[in-house]
Copies of this chain bind each other. A is one copy, B any other.
C-alpha cells in the first residue's frame, strides 16, 4: 500500500480512516489540520502576545513548532515559551533539555519557573507530605504558576499542547464523575472574556490525535526521547486513556465521535453554566484570582511546608 497522495512508502495510517500517508504528505496533512483549527476557532489574532506552555514533551514542542510557523508568517505576533519545573527526577530534568534546545535553535525566549522556588518543595518531596495524588497537586500548582506568570509576562493567550486524546479523556472523566459543569470549561479556546486575571487558553492540536502528534514530533525530530511522567500510570486518567485506546482500536473514530459530539454541545453548556458561574475574587494571601478567600495553591503550599 502506497501513500494516498503520492507513490512513496507510507509512515502512518490515520486513526479515523483507512488513509495511509508518507512522511512528507503526513507532515503537510498535520500542519494543515492544526492551522485549520487555529483559523476556524480564531485561536490566534493579529497583535497577540502568545505564551506557549512547554514541558519539552512531544505535545508541547509540536504546538510550539506550529505556532512558530504562524508567527513567521504573521510578523505582528509575539511568541515566547514558559516551562514549569515540577521537580520530577528522571523525567522533567530530561525533557527540559529538549525544550531548551528547541528554544535556543529557534530563538524563542524560554521562561522557567519551579515548584521548588515558588512553593519551597519539588513535587517528588511534596507528594510524600500530603495525602493527595501527584496529578492533583500538579493540577493546582501548574495551573496557578502558568496563569500567574503568563499574566506577569504580558501574554494575552496561553497555548497548550492538549490533543484530541486529552480532550476525549477529560470529557469522559467529567461525565463519569458527574461534573458536566467542569466540561463547560473545556474546548479549543477557553477563558475568553471571563476575567482579565485569567489568561485565555488555546489548544491548536485540539483536532489531532495523540498518535498523530507523537508521529509528527518524531518525524520532525522535535524530541529525543518519549518519556512519560512516572506519576501518570496509576491515575484515573491513565485508566480512561487505556480504555479509550482499546475502544479506538476496535471501533476507529471513537475519539473523534466523543470530541465532535462534545463540540456540538459545548455552546449549550457554556450558555447554561455561564449563568451560574462563581464570582471571581482575589486570594487574600497571594492576590491571585480565586473563588473563595484563599486560593487552592496557597492552601496546598501551606500543607507541604508545615
Instruction: Using CB atoms and an 8 Å cutoff, list the residues of chain A in contact with chain B.
Output: 174-180, 236, 239, 243, 246-247, 250-251, 253-254, 256-258, 260-262, 264-265, 268-269, 272
Contacts and interface: CB of A to CB of B under 8 A. Distances in A.
Chain A to chain B: the 9 pairs with minimum beta-carbon distance, closest first: A178-B257, A180-B261, A268-B268, A178-B261, A176-B257, A178-B260, A176-B254, A175-B261, A177-B257
Contacts of A175: 257-258, 261-262
Query: Which secondary structure dominates where chain A touches chain B?
Result: helix
Contacts of A268: 265, 268-269, 272
A93 B209 CA distance: 48
Given A178-B256, A265-B268, 4 more contacts: A175-B262, A176-B247, A176-B258, A239-B251
A268 B14 CA distance: 34
Given A180-B265, A265-B269, A272-B268, A250 B239 contact: yes
Q: Which of A175, A253, A262 has the most CB of B within 10 A?
A: A175
A1 to B, nearest CB: 26
Contacts of A258: 175-176
B251 A243 contact: no
Contact of A176 (B178, B180, B251, B265): B251
Nearest to A175: B261
A272 B246 CA distance: 32
A269 B264 CA distance: 10
22 contacts: A174-B261, A175-B258, A175-B262, A176-B251, A176-B254, A176-B257, A176-B258, A177-B253, A177-B257, A178-B261, A178-B264, A180-B261, A180-B264, A180-B265, A236-B251, A239-B247, A239-B250, A239-B251, A243-B246, A265-B265, A265-B269, A268-B268
Contacts of A176: 247, 251, 254, 257-258
A261 B262 CA distance: 13
